[in-house]
Amino acid sequence: MENRSENLFWVDIARAAVMFGVVLVHISADVITEWGHFPKGWWWAANVYDSLARGCVPVFIMLSGALLLPKTESYRDFFFKRFRRILLPSVVWTVLYLLWKKQFYVPELGFSEAFRLALNGGVHFHLWFLYLIAGLYLLTPLLRVLVAHASRRDLLYLLILWFLVSSVLPFWEGWDKLFLHTGLHFKIPAELTQGFVGYFVLGYFIRQTDTVMFRHSVYGVWAACLFICMIGTYLLSRHFHSFQMLFYDNMAPNGVLYAASFFMILKHAGPWLETHLSAGWRNLVLSLSKASFGIYLIHPMTLDILAKGRWGFVLKGDMPQPILMIPLTTLVIYVFSFFVIILIQKIPVLKRIV
């Protein structure tokens, strides 16, 4: 997969698109989580937007697996490159968000409590992703050996087992807790198939597999999963008179299939878009892609500034006409964060933190 002739423009499109989706999820959350506090039309607007952006974090992880697992390099080279990319930004942004928390929310925050928050991942709601990706980096050299010697059937078996253990069974437990109350839990201690590592391998598997024959059917899977997420969440929330996120979970079966189908759609659409987009649009996509990690790190600060009116005006998703305000707020935060990151990337001493 080191062939330079391979068209990877779809990867840049995916990074730019899913980063916009991450911001959209965070803006929609102000409405979607407050069942009964807003008019039903407001809630439905947020539900549609949030459902559309489901799977953004899994797609980020799939992209990492698709790009990292095919490579061959020494342990030293891998860890030097990867942790140089993740360690310094993690430390710097953790400190920045601790200072933000102390300045605006917890003035009494002391060093010992700040240190505890940094260790257990409780500094800010989005920094958990840095801990996750660091853990996946630790596993990558071993996963490279696995995928290099595994057949397509072996990997398919691993992914099916992961889907059962990490998606289907937990979903059953959630459903049972809400409705059936049987107390039946089917625990399979297959540690290699736990959590987000399956998405990491899934990204590699889809990139390596010729999925052209499924090109049309994946649109149907994507649409069906979107429908299940929207309608299922509405029906559950209405039944329990509170927001229920069973279908919103990143590991829900509909969420896994949604992320996988969206990943394949992006893979198939990339070459067509590269052909039909002008040079200016292609350069913009490349710039957005390169800035996506930095946008992820900084956008909650922009969100907070606008939501709290720290610049003298308020802009957030739970304002009147959320069908317009949610995408508008998302666009403003995304574009502003993008330009800030572009500026930071031009400063030699700072560019390594984004």
Range scoring the smallest mean pLDDT among 19-28, 37-46, 213-222, 318-327: 213-222
Q: Is 333 exposed, middle or buried, given 0-12, 13-18 or 19+ CB atoms closer than 10 A?
A: buried
Q: What is the largest CA-CA distance in the chain?
A: 59
Q: How many domains does the chain have?
A: 1
Q: Is 219 exposed, middle or buried, given 0-12, 13-18 or 19+ CB atoms closer than 10 A?
A: middle
State the distance between the two ends of the chain, measured CA to CA, in whole angstroms: 27
Q: Is the pLDDT of residue 2 over 80?
A: no
Pairwise CA distance, residues 255 & 165, whole Å: 15
Pairwise CA distance, residues 277 & 32, whole Å: 35
Pairwise CA distance, residues 307 & 318, whole Å: 9
Give me the pLDDT at residue 12, please.
96
Structure confidence by residue, pLDDT tens digits, 103-122: 999 999 999 999 999 988 88
**Radius of gyration of the CA atoms of the chain, in A:** 21
CB 236 within 8 A of CB 29: no
CA distances from 188 to 11, 194, 252, 351 (A): 34, 10, 17, 44
pTM: 0.93
Q: Has residue 191 been placed in a domain?
A: yes
Pairwise CA distance, residues 316 & 326, whole Å: 7
Q: Determine the structural domain holding residue 155 and report its residue range.
A: 9-353
> DSSP characters for 279-294?
HHHHHHHHHHHHHHHH
Q: Has residue 3 been placed in a domain?
A: no
Structure confidence by residue, pLDDT tens digits, 90-105: 999 999 999 999 999 9
- 150: which DSSP letter? -
H helical segments located in 36-163: 40-52, 56-68, 75-104, 111-120, 128-149, 152-163
- 167: which DSSP letter? I
Place of tokens 């990943």: 263
User: pLDDT band at residue 6, thresholds of 50, 70 and 90?
Assistant: low
- Picking from 316, 299, 320, the residue whose alpha carbon sits closest to that of residue 20 is 299
Q: Has residue 187 been placed in a domain?
A: yes
CB 268 within 8 A of CB 14: no
Other CB atoms within a 10 A radius of the CB of residue 3 amount to 6
Pairwise CA distance, residues 129 & 328, whole Å: 25
Pairwise CA distance, residues 352 & 85, whole Å: 7
Q: Has residue 1 been placed in a domain?
A: no
Q: Has residue 80 been placed in a domain?
A: yes
Structure confidence by residue, pLDDT tens digits, 140-193: 999 999 999 999 999 999 999 999 999 999 999 999 999 998 888 877 888 888
Give me the pLDDT at residue 68, please.
95
Q: Looking at this protein, which amino acid is placed at residue 236?
A: L
Rounded mean pLDDT, 331-338: 97
Q: Has residue 268 been placed in a domain?
A: yes
Percent of the chain's residues with pLDDT above 70: 98
Q: Is the pLDDT of residue 7 over 90?
A: no
Could you give the angle at the alpha carbon of 61 between the alpha carbons of 136 and 171, nearest 5°?
A: 95
All residues at 6 or more sequence positions from 308 whose CB lies less than 8 Å from its CB, including other chains: 104, 314
